Structure 1
Amino acid sequence: MYVVSVINYKGGVGKTTVTANLGAELANRGMKVLLIDLDPQTSLTFSFYDPDDWRERLRDARTVKRWYDSLRGDDGPVTLGDLVVSPGPANAHITGTGRLDLIASHLGLIDIDLALARGVANGEEYDAELFRVRGALARALHEHVLDPYDMVLIDCPPNFNVVTQSAIIASDHLVIPARADYLSTLGIDYLYGNVQELVERYNADARRFATVRRHHKVAPGIAGVVFTMIQLMAQRPIAAHHGFMDQTRALGLPVFPTALRENVSLYASNTPRGVPVVLRNRLTVPAVRDELRQLTTEFLENLQPERAAA
C-alpha cells in the first residue's frame, strides 16, 4: 500500500480536483483506492455525496472526525475501517476490478486541534501526547481491514495543523498542487522546509516516546509538484506562467511534466453527479481528461521509478 498526501498551504489550487481524479483513474486501472478527506471544507466528500446525503447518512457516524474524537476518548474504539463508504456513481463508471472508497470529512474537524490539546499540560506530557496524535493515522492505516487497498490518497487542509501533520507522518509521498502564480509557488519552499522539520522532530520524539524498540523511521518523499489551472496559448502555458514554474523547478523538487489546464465550467460541473472528470466519457474538452490520465501515469512512475525504468 502506498499512502500519498495531497497538500499545499494555499487553498484554491486544485487539491481536491487532483485527489479525486487521481484516485478515480487509479481505480479505473484496476487498483483498490481509498480516499481520505481531512479538509473541514469537505470539498472532496461533496465531490461524491451531495450535502443532504452527507447529513442523512454520514455526518453522525461515518466521518473521519469520529475517528479523531476517539483519540481523546470522546467515543468508544473506532477504526478507520468502520468509516469507509463506497460512492456508488463513481464506482459505476469504473471498469474492471478496481474500486474507489472514501472516508468522509466533517465541518467540525476545524476545531479538532483545540480538542486534542485540551487537558494536556505543557512539558514532556504534552510532547508525548503530540507524538501519539501525530503518529495515530500512520498506525491506523496498518489495520488489517485496510490491507486490500493498493493506494491511499489523503486530501489535506490548507494549513499545517496537527491533522495535516498526522497525514504527513502517515505518508510515503507528498503531491503538491500549485497554481503558477506568486502566492501559490512562494509557499512551496516554506512547506517543504516545514515538512522536513516535522519529520526530524517526529523521528527524534520516537526515540523518546516510542513503545517499540525499533520504531519505523518516517521519511516521506515528494512525488512531485503538479501545476493546475494553467492558461494555454497554442497548447502551451502562457508566458506569464513560465517564471513561476521555473522557480519551482529551481528548488530541486520534482515537477510533473503534465500541467492541468484551467477549465472552470468543466471542473465545477457535477454532472453526472459524483463522477470525477477523468471517468466521464462525454466531454466537450476531451484534452482535460487526457491530461488527468497522463498525470496519473507520471504519478505512478514517480512512485515506482525502478518499475518505470524496467
Structure 2
Amino acid sequence: MYVVSVINYKGGVGKTTMTANLGAELANRGMKVLLIDLDPQASLTFSFYEPDDWRDRLRDERTVKRWYDGLRGDDPAASLGELVVTPGPANAHLKGAGRLDLIASHLQLVDIDLALARGVADGDEYDAELFRVRGSLAEGLHDATLDPYDLVLIDCPPNFNVVTQSAIIASDHLLIPAKADYLSTLGIDYLHGNVRELVDRYNADSRRFARIRRHHKVAPGIAGVVFTMIQLMAQRPIAAHQGYMDQVRALGVPVFPTALRENVTLFAANTPRGVPVVLRDRITNPAVRDELRQITTEFLAHLQPEGAVA
C-alpha cells in the first residue's frame, strides 16, 4: 500500500481538486483507493457529500476528528478502519473493479493541533509526546482492515502543524499541486526544506524514544509538483507561468510534464458534488479531463516505473 500526501503551504492551488480527481481516476483504473481529508475546511469531504448529509451521517461518529480525539484520550479510541465511508455517486461511475473510499474531515479539526499537546510539560516529556503524535497516523494506517487498499491519498491542510506532520511521516511520497506564481514557488522551496528537517528530527527521535514506538526510518520522497490553473497560448503555458515553472525545476524538485489548465468550473467551490470531473462523460472542456488522466498516468509511472498503468 502506497501512502501519498497531497500538500502545499498555499491554499487555493487546486490541492483538493487534484486529490479527488487523482483518486477517482486511479479507482477507475481498478485500484482500491482511500482518501483521507485532514483539512479542517473539509473541501474534499464536501466534494463527495452534501453538508446536510455530512452533518446527519458523518459529523458525530465518522470523521477523522474522532480518531485524533482518541489519541489525546478524550474519547474511546477508534480505528481508522471504523471511519471509512464509500461515496455512492462516485463509485457508481467507476468502470472497473476499483473502489474509492473516504475518511471524512471535521470543521473542528482546526482545534486538534493545540489540544494534542495539552497538559504536556516542556523538555523530554514534550519531545516524547510530539514524537508519538507525529508517528500516530503511520501507526494507525497499519489497521488490518485497510490492507486491501492499493493507495492512500491524504489531503493535507495548507500549513505545517502537527496534523500535517503526521501525514508526512506516514507517507511514502508527497505530491505538490502549485500555481505558477511567486508565492507558490517560494512556498515549495520552504516546504522541501521543512520536510527534510522534520524527517531528520523524527528519525533521530525514533532512536531516542524507542520505548514508545519500534524504531523505523522514514524517508518520504517528492513524487513531483503538478502545476495547476495554467493559462495557455498556442497550447503552451504563457511566458510568465513558464518562468515560474522553470524556477521550480531549478530547485531540483521533480515536475510533472503535464500541467492542468485554468478552468473556472473545475476549481469553483460550487461545482456539483459527488462525481469528480475525471469520471464525467459530459463536461464543457474535455481537455481538462484528458489532462487529469495524463497526470494520473505520470503519477503511476513515478510510483511504479517498471509497471505503470497507461
Q: Scaled by the length of structure 1, what TM-score is found?
A: 0.97
Deviation string, structure 1 residues 79-107 (Cα, Å, up to 9, x no partner): 00010000000000011110000000001
Equivalent residues of 1:47, 1:270 under 8 A apart: no
Deviation string, structure 1 residues 171-190 (Cα, Å, up to 9, x no partner): 00000010000111111011
- The residue correspondences of 1:16-55 to structure 2 (distance < 5 A) are 16-55=16-55
Equivalent residues of 2:17, 2:266 under 8 A apart: no
Counterpart of 1:248 in structure 2 is 248
Q: What secondary structure, in the 3-state scheme, does the structure 1 residue paired with 2:219 have?
A: coil
Q: Which amino acid aligns with 2:242?
A: H
| Unpaired runs of at least 5, structure 1 | none
Residues 163 and 295 of structure 1, relative CA distance in 2, 3 Å threshold: same
| CA RMSD, Structure 1 to Structure 2 (Å) | 1.4
| Unpaired runs of at least 5, structure 2 | none
Q: CA deviation at 1:270?
A: 6.0
Q: What secondary structure, in the 3-state scheme, does the structure 2 residue paired with 1:3 have?
A: strand
Counterpart of 2:134 in structure 1 is 134
Equivalent residues of 1:206, 1:215 under 8 A apart: yes
Q: Which amino acid aligns with 1:179?
A: K
Counterpart of 1:286 in structure 2 is 286
Mapped pair 1:166 → 2:155: no
Counterpart of 2:2 in structure 1 is 2
Distance, in Å, in 1 between the alignment partners of 2:212 and 2:68 is: 23
Across the two proteins, how many residue pairs are aligned to each other?
Answer: 309
Counterpart of 1:104 in structure 2 is 104
Q: What secondary structure, in the 3-state scheme, does the structure 2 residue paired with 1:306 have?
A: coil
Q: Which runs of 4+ in 1 moved over 4 A?
A: 269-272
Q: Which amino acid aligns with 2:237?
A: P
Q: What secondary structure, in the 3-state scheme, does the structure 2 residue paired with 1:305 have?
A: coil
Counterpart of 1:276 in structure 2 is 276
Distance, in Å, in 1 between the alignment partners of 2:271 and 2:199 is: 41
Q: What secondary structure, in the 3-state scheme, does the structure 2 residue paired with 1:216 have?
A: coil
Identity, % of aligned pairs?
84
Q: Which amino acid aligns with 1:277?
A: V
Mapped pair 1:94 → 2:82: no
Counterpart of 1:187 in structure 2 is 187
Distance, in Å, in 1 between the alignment partners of 2:269 and 2:283 is: 11
Deviation string, structure 1 residues 109-152 (Cα, Å, up to 9, x no partner): 00111110111001000000000000000001011100000000
Q: Which amino acid aligns with 1:120?
A: V
Equivalent residues of 2:206, 2:213 under 8 A apart: no
Q: CA deviation at 1:271?
A: 6.0
Q: CA deviation at 1:258?
A: 0.4
Distance, in Å, in 1 between the alignment partners of 2:293 and 2:189 is: 27
Q: CA deviation at 1:213?
A: 8.7
Equivalent residues of 1:267, 1:277 under 8 A apart: no
Residues 219 and 93 of structure 1, relative CA distance in 2, 3 Å threshold: same
Q: Which amino acid aligns with 2:140?
A: A
Q: What secondary structure, in the 3-state scheme, does the structure 1 residue paired with 2:100 have?
A: strand
Distance, in Å, in 2 between the alignment partners of 1:59 and 1:188 is: 33
